[in-house]
Amino acid sequence: MSDFVTLGELLIDFTPAGSKDGRNLFMQNAGGAVANAAAAYARLGGSAAFMGMVGNDQFGRFLKETIGAAGVDTDGMILSNEYNTTLAFVHLFEDGQRDFSFYRKPGADIMYKSENIDTAIIDGCKVFHVGTLSLTDEPVRSAHFEAVEYAKDAGKIITYDPNYRAPLWRSEDEAREFMTAGLEYADILKISDNEIDFLFGDIDYEDAAKMLVDQGISLVYITLGKDGAVFANSEGVGRAGGFKANAVDATGAGDCFTGSVIYRFVNAGKDLGEFSLDDMRDAATFANAAASICVEGLGGIPSMQTQAQVEKRLKSQ
């Protein structure tokens, strides 16, 4: 069984790879927020599993092989003969930041149903992780909430990343509604500065972190890109600085942070209430170092780091 189980999307990121004769070239990479987080956790040496659906096409088979090669258990992954794998084209800017164009009408990931949930995989985990790309459409939305409620009732720690991708939602109001609904289940939250702005408007990030803890979330991490992260628990609020990096592609960096933080939490062997502010600082520093490595490569899963790489980066700065 796997300590860390994720449910949601696994898709193809077509990442820019130069041009030829004035035409853009794209590189096929495995991606998807929750799948990226599972890969990051596994690459560090942890046991991770992914639950979700892809098409039984060349892309889906590539994804299963790739995430499996990263060390992620794929027993809960379904290859559909009815629906195609979701595709995303990544558009990069000079600073490594990116935008997306999705081809998902419908993609296999959103056709995952409650009846597909393998509760035995959830039973075997310590931490169950979800995001919001599985909240945009039915039937996966209902399956998402059913799986989270099952995990919660089974005493699992719920981690949540309200990952906002505007093209996948019908409106900003709908996105806010379901992104906020997910907060009610979270024990550990990873959220970006942009998503804080989207959900709560003009608010200081330290104040936002304290507010989220006051709402009942035990551990809150707000990522700030190259500037590191803000974190908070019942003890208070802190900051962990970022690491210098030659950023070429930020795809997967936040998910790398998520997987790395959860890896440190699980391996600390502590309950949520025992994980101190100093523990959170150490985890955030480790995760910032990992993410700084991730942004130096193209694509999400291919750029996930090993323990040795992170330790080297920590010593270098």
In the chain, the percentage of residues whose pLDDT exceeds 90 is 81
CATH architecture of 4-8+33-81+109-316: 3-Layer(aba) Sandwich (3.40)
Which tops the pLDDT comparison, 16 or 154?
Answer: 154
The pLDDT value recorded for residue 94 is 64
CA geometry: angle 210, 212, 214, nearest 5 deg: 70
Provide the residue ranges of all domains of the chain, joining segments of one domain with +.
Answer: 4-8+33-81+109-316
Contact 121, 103 (CB under 8 A): no
Band (247; pLDDT cuts 50, 70, 90): confident
Question: Contact, 136 vs 33, CB < 8 A?
Answer: no
How many CB atoms within 10 Å of residue 271?
9
Closest CA to 192 of 246, 149, 132: 132
What are the pLDDT digits (tens) for 256-315?
Answer: 999 999 999 999 999 999 999 999 999 999 999 999 999 888 777 888 889 999 999 998
Q: Would you state the pLDDT for residue 2?
A: 96
The whole-angstrom separation of Cα 209 and Cα 156 is 23
Contact 96, 247 (CB under 8 A): yes
State the first-to-last Cα distance of the chain, in angstroms, to the nearest integer.
36
Structure token pair of residue 131: 């995001």
Q: What is the separation of C-alpha 62 from the centre of its chain, rounded to a whole number of angstroms? A: 20
* Centroid of chain to Cα 5: 12
pLDDT for 142-190, tens place per residue?
999 999 999 999 999 999 999 999 999 999 999 999 999 999 999 999 9
Alpha-carbon gap, residue 253 to 36, rounded angstroms: 9
pLDDT of residue 210: 98
* Segment 88-103, tens digit of pLDDT: 887 767 665 667 789 9
Contact predicate 266/3, CB 8 Å: yes
Residue 146: which H helix or E strand, with range? helix 140-153
